[in-house]
Chains A and B, each alone.
Chain A
Amino acid sequence: NAGVTQTPKFQVLKTGQSMTLQCAQDMNHNSMYWYRQDPGMGLRLIYYSASEGTTDKGEVPNGYNVSRLNKREFSLRLESAAPSQTSVYFCASRGQGLDYGYTFGSGTRLTVV
């Protein structure tokens, strides 16, 4: 099925551990995004990649790094996880055009203990 695929779906980390969240899309979209969702705060943009080879900070980039490996894949890395990074993470991709909506992955629920 076409869309955005995120792995893993669930993860529990200990404080200080590192991990990478994977995201891949098969819609040939140029732009990809990582958001985190916390109760009462909607979705906040962590990093985005407007095109292959470029990445930029969003609203809440501290504690994260990203890699746009190729046009399909955009990964999010936590180098040293903190309890404040407990959240649900969504990857999204976007096609071309002013009014093009986003397609979201199903999310990764991350708990840092």
Chain B
Amino acid sequence: AQSVTQLDSHVSVSEGTPVLLRCNYSSSYSPSLFWYVQHPNKGLQLLLKYTSAATLVKGINGFEAEFKKSETSFHLTKPSAHMSDAAEYFCVVSAISDSSYKLIFGSGTRLLVRP
């Protein structure tokens, strides 16, 4: 079965400092992994996705994530936080069941950016 664990429920950084949001996954096959962002009272927006091509994936707004199979991790990083990055971030793994594709969500990490 596929699952995903986000290791921090809250992360607080100062503006201009690096961001690291941690995610570990469990999958019985080579997974597709995604990061979604949700700004307050908004829907979900795809930041980036890993689909078995390059292990370092670049997304929108300067975010990137590295797929590490040996560590079963897919951590999200950004070199320099901006105030507009304050949001909730979800690590997501794709699952296949009865030939149907579903997304399994982590519980989310809320990113706070201090001025």
Q: Using a CB–CB distance below 8 Å, which chain A residues touch chain B?
A: 31, 33, 35, 40-45, 48, 50, 56, 58, 90, 92, 94, 98-102, 104-107
Contacts and interface: CB of A to CB of B under 8 A. Distances in A.
Contacts, number: 57
Interface of B: 9, 32, 34, 36, 42-46, 49, 51-52, 90, 94, 98-103, 105-108
Contact of B102 (A40, A48, A99): A48
Contact of B100 (A31, A42, A98, A100): A31
B111 to A, nearest CB: 15
7 contacts: A31-B101, A40-B9, A42-B106, A43-B44, A43-B90, A101-B34, A104-B44
Nearest to A91: B43
Nearest to A102: B103
Contacts of A105: 43
